[in-house]
């Protein structure tokens, strides 16, 4: 069961690391023209870069916590942050009459990772 837990965490981390990195390094002018990213035209380039940074840092935090056991507290914090980001993303897509299935799936997977690692938040 521990292996499945780690696989889910790594997949979640890699997804957010990839999309966050893409938002950070893709020029805004190209991003708004990309299929599936037209929602970005409603936000400033700085805001999109901030979202990308949060996603990439959260993904990196989960990966680092697997290597450095002292950073285990980052897993529930990052997954909670992902849940918050997915609420905002779902709202944005919903308001544009776009599908929100991906946002819901990522929200629930993030919630599962949070739930599985919630004990890391308690003081020992």
Q: Compute the chain's Rg from CA coordinates.
A: 15
pTM as predicted:
0.92
Does the residue 123 lie in any domain?
Answer: no
Does the residue 22 lie in any domain?
Answer: yes
Which 3 state secondary structure label does DSSP give 96? coil
Does the residue 81 lie in any domain?
Answer: yes
Does the residue 31 lie in any domain?
Answer: yes
CB neighbourhood size of 57 (10 A): 16
Count structural domains, the chain.
1
State the residue range of the domain holding 76. Answer: 2-118
pLDDT 10s digits, 105-124: 999 999 999 999 999 988 65
Distance between CA atoms of residues 70 and 39, nearest Å: 38
Average pLDDT over residues 67-85: 94
Q: Are the C-beta atoms of residues 39 and 98 closer than 8 Å to each other?
A: yes
Does the residue 30 lie in any domain?
Answer: yes
Does the residue 44 lie in any domain?
Answer: yes
For the stretch 93-124, what's the b/e string if a residue is b when 16 or more beta carbons lie within 10 angstroms of its beta carbon? beeeeeebeebeebbebbeebbebbeebeeee
Q: Name the percent of the chain lying above pLDDT 90.
A: 85
Does the residue 124 lie in any domain?
Answer: no
């Amino acid at each position: 069961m521990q292996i499945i837990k780690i696989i889910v965490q790594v997949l979640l981390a890699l997804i957010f690391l990839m999309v966050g990195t893409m938002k950070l390094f893709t020029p805004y002018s190209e991003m708004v023209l990309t299929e599936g990213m037209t929602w970005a035209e409603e936000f400033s380039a700085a805001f999109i870069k901030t979202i990308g940074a949060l996603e990439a840092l959260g993904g990196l935090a989960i990966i680092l916590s697997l290597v450095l056991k002292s950073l285990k507290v980052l897993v529930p914090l990052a997954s909670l942050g992902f849940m918050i980001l997915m609420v905002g993303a779902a709202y944005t897509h919903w308001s544009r009459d776009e599908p929100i299935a991906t946002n819901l799936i990522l929200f629930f997977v993030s919630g599962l990772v949070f739930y599985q690692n919630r004990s890391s938040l308690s003081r020992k």
